[in-house]
């Protein structure tokens, strides 16, 4: 099965196709260029060796916020990256272009509220984190889909939440 991703790296967006092959190998196509890698997980890092020979690379990938990554590989030290698939990227763009009016920010998954970052009456900008939710031992920042004013905060620290539950209402 081929999985397709969009990766924003160094201010440029790249299309990435990843296909799992036998014996821990992966075929990766980025911007039309294909490479087969032998990939092994070593602790929190990945060891990548190009098929057919070449220098091995050790890559550290750390999650940062919702959909963000920090990548360290050779001279790329702590380079911020953002990975998503085309469906999620289009949904983000559509949400950002919606006209003004009430908007509910809902939890995409069950979990627990770690922090509510805004209060009722506070002005927010598009992309500003408003709530941090912990799910599956990961913290996820839920962000405002557009500029506006917080009408209501329905989430409190430590609160257990369900998928689809409204946490913040944007006026």
All domains of the chain in start order, with CATH: 2-84 (3.30.700.30), 100-170 (2.40.50.100)
**pLDDT value for 168:** 96
- Contact of 43 with 53, CB cutoff 8 Å: no
In this predicted structure, the answer to whether residue 22 has a pLDDT above a threshold of 70 is yes
DSSP one-letter code for 99: P
Q: What is the mean pLDDT of the segment spanning 30-38?
A: 88
Rounded Cα–Cα distance for residues 3 and 92 (Å): 19
For the sheet with 103-106, list strands across it: 103-106, 166-170, 148-153, 123-124
pLDDT, averaged across the chain? 84
Q: Greater confidence, 167 or 93?
A: 167
Q: Terminus-to-terminus CA distance in the chain, angstroms? A: 42
3-state DSSP assignment of residue 55:
coil
Hunting for tokens 């009430």 — which residue is that?
102
Residue 87's CB is within 10 A of a number of other CB atoms, namely 9
| 97 backbone dihedrals φ, ψ, rounded to 5° | -95, 0
Q: What is the pLDDT of residues 102-144, one digit of tens each?
A: 899 999 889 999 999 999 999 999 889 999 999 888 898 999 9
In this predicted structure, the answer to whether residue 39 has a pLDDT above a threshold of 80 is yes
């Amino acid at each position: 099965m081929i999985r397709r991703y969009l990766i924003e790296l160094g201010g440029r967006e790249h299309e990435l196709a990843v296909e799992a092959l036998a014996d821990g190998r992966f075929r990766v196509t980025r911007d039309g260029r294909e490479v087969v890698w032998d990939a092994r997980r070593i602790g929190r890092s990945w060891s990548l060796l190009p098929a057919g020979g070449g220098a091995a690379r050790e890559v550290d990938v750390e999650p940062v916020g919702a959909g963000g990554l920090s990548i360290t590989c050779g001279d790329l030290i702590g380079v911020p990256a953002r990975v998503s698939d085309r469906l999620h990227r289009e949904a983000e763009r559509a949400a950002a272009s919606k006209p003004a009016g009430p908007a509910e920010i809902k939890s995409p998954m069950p979990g627990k509220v770690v922090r509510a970052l805004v209060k009722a009456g506070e002005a927010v900008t598009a992309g500003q984190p408003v709530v941090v939710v912990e799910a599956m031992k990961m913290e996820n920042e839920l962000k405002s889909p557009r500029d506006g004013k917080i009408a209501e905060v329905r989430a409190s620290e430590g609160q257990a939440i369900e998928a689809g539950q409204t946490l913040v209402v944007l006026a």
